[in-house]
Amino acid sequence: MRFALVLAASGALTLASPPVFLLLATRHSSLTTAAWTLTWSDEFNNPDKSTPDPEKWTYDLGGNGWGNHELESYTSRPENAQITGGNLVITARQEDYAGADRIPRPYTSARLKTQGLFAQAYGRFEARIKIPRGQGIWPAFWLLGDDINRVDWPDCGEVDIMENIGREPGMVYGSLHAPSFVGATSDASKGVQLHAEQSYADDFHVYAVEWEPGMVRFYVDSNNYATFTQSEWPKGGRWVFDHPFFIILNVAVGGDWPKNPDATSKFPQQMLVDYVRVYARRQPSD
C-alpha cells in the first residue's frame, strides 16, 4: 500500500475494518511442488556482506515520502541492504541522511525491486521473511504492474502480499489496489492475526499469493486466509491484474498508516528474507 495509503483519509480505504482471521503459528508452506514450476528465485546465498545480485534487484532511492509521508530515505548502501547468514537483510537506521533527492531525513532504509529485470503474470509468488518490530516500522513484500511508467498508479495495479505495521505485532495484511470509475481507488484487504501475544517478528513465516486470471489467493504459511475475485470486485472498480507485475521488498519508517516512531521504537530494525521464489502453474503436458 505504498501509494494507496495517501488516499485512506478520503475514505478510499479503511484499514481498521478489513476482516481479520486468526492464525496459529506454523512454519509450513502451502506449496505443492508437483503443481508448480519454478521460474525465478533468489536464495540469498552469496557471501556475507555482499550486496544483492544486481542481475535480479535494483533500488528505489530517495526520501520524498512515497505518497504516504514516510520519514526514511531509501539507499543502495550495504548498511541498508546486504546478504548476511543466507538472508537478505534490509536495515532501517536512525540517522540523518541526505539521499538522492538531497533532502535530509531522520532515517534510512532500502527498497529493492525487480523492475526492468523480472516480471510475471500469474503463478505463485512467495517469500520466507522474519519481519522487524516497533512503532512506526512498516515492512512489506508486494508487487506492482510493470506498466506503471506508462499508465501510472493505480492503473498499473498493486498486490500487497504482506504488510505489517509495528503497533500491530500479531497482524499482517494482504491487499489489492486498482483504479475506480467512482472513487480514488478500488481496494480489497484482509488481515490475519496470530493467537494471544504472538508476534510475526518472533519467527520466519512464508508469505505468498497464488494468482490466476480473475482470482488472487493470499497465504501465510499453509493458511489461505483471503481470496479476492474479479466477479466480486467492488462496483465501479476495474480489475487490472491480468498482466506482468514486478516484485518489491522494503522497510518503511513512519507514514500515514503506521504513524511515526516514538520513545518505544528501537533502531536499527531488520527484515530478514530467507528467499523469494516465483512459480508458474505446471501444465498437464509438462
Residue closest to 230 by CA, chosen among 269, 186, 182: 186
Residues facing 126 on adjacent strands: 208, 277
Is 88 inside any structural domain?
yes
236 Cβ neighbours under 8 A, 6+ residues apart = 180, 181, 182, 183, 186
In a domain, 286, yes or no: no
Q: Which of the pair, 243 or 2, is modelled with greater confidence? A: 243
pLDDT tens digits, 244-274: 999 999 999 999 999 999 999 999 999 999 9
In a domain, 13, yes or no: no
**Mean pLDDT to the nearest integer, 150-155:** 97
How many structural domains is the chain composed of?
Answer: 1
Instruction: Report yes or no: 261 and 135 within 8 Å, Cβ to Cβ.
Output: yes
Q: Which residues, including other chains, have CB under 8 Å from residue 70's CB and lie 6 or more apart?
A: 63, 138, 252, 253, 254, 255
Dihedral pair phi/psi, residue 103, rounded to 5°: -105, 120
pLDDT the model gives residue 102:
83
* Residues 110-142: tens digit of each pLDDT: 999 999 999 999 999 999 999 999 999 999 999
Work out the burial of residue 44: count CB atoms within 10 Å of its CB; fewer than 13 is exposed, 13-18 middle, 19 or more buried.
buried
* Range from 4-18, 106-120, 221-235 carrying the lowest mean pLDDT: 4-18
Looking up residue 75, the CATH number of its domain turns out to be: 2.60.120.200
Does the pTM exceed 0.85?
yes
Domain range enclosing 112: 4-8+20-281
* pLDDT attached to residue 196: 81
pLDDT of residue 240: 98
Active site includes 163? yes
Residue 88's pLDDT is 98
Q: Is the pLDDT of residue 9 over 80?
A: no
Catalytic residue among 43, 158, 197, 210: 158
Share of the chain above pLDDT 70, in %: 87
Residue 111 maps to a domain: yes
Please report where in the chains the cell 511515526 appears, as a residue: 260
pLDDT, tens digit, 9 for 90 and up, residues 177-225: 999 999 889 999 999 999 888 999 999 999 999 999 999 999 999 999 9
Burial (CB count within 10 angstroms: exposed 0-12, middle 13-18, buried 19+), residue 41: middle
The larger pLDDT score, comparing residue 72 to residue 101, is at 72
Task: Calculate what percentage of the chain has a pLDDT beyond 90.
Answer: 81
Residue-wise pLDDT tens digits, 18-44: 555 565 444 444 555 678 999 999 999
pLDDT of 266: 98
Of the candidates 70, 126, 163, 210, the residue annotated as catalytic is 163
The 10 Å Cβ neighbour count of residue 263 is 6
d(CA 115, CA 98): 24
What gap in Å lies between CA 174 and CA 219, rounded to an integer? 9
Q: Which three three-digit cell numbers place residue 151?
A: 499508465
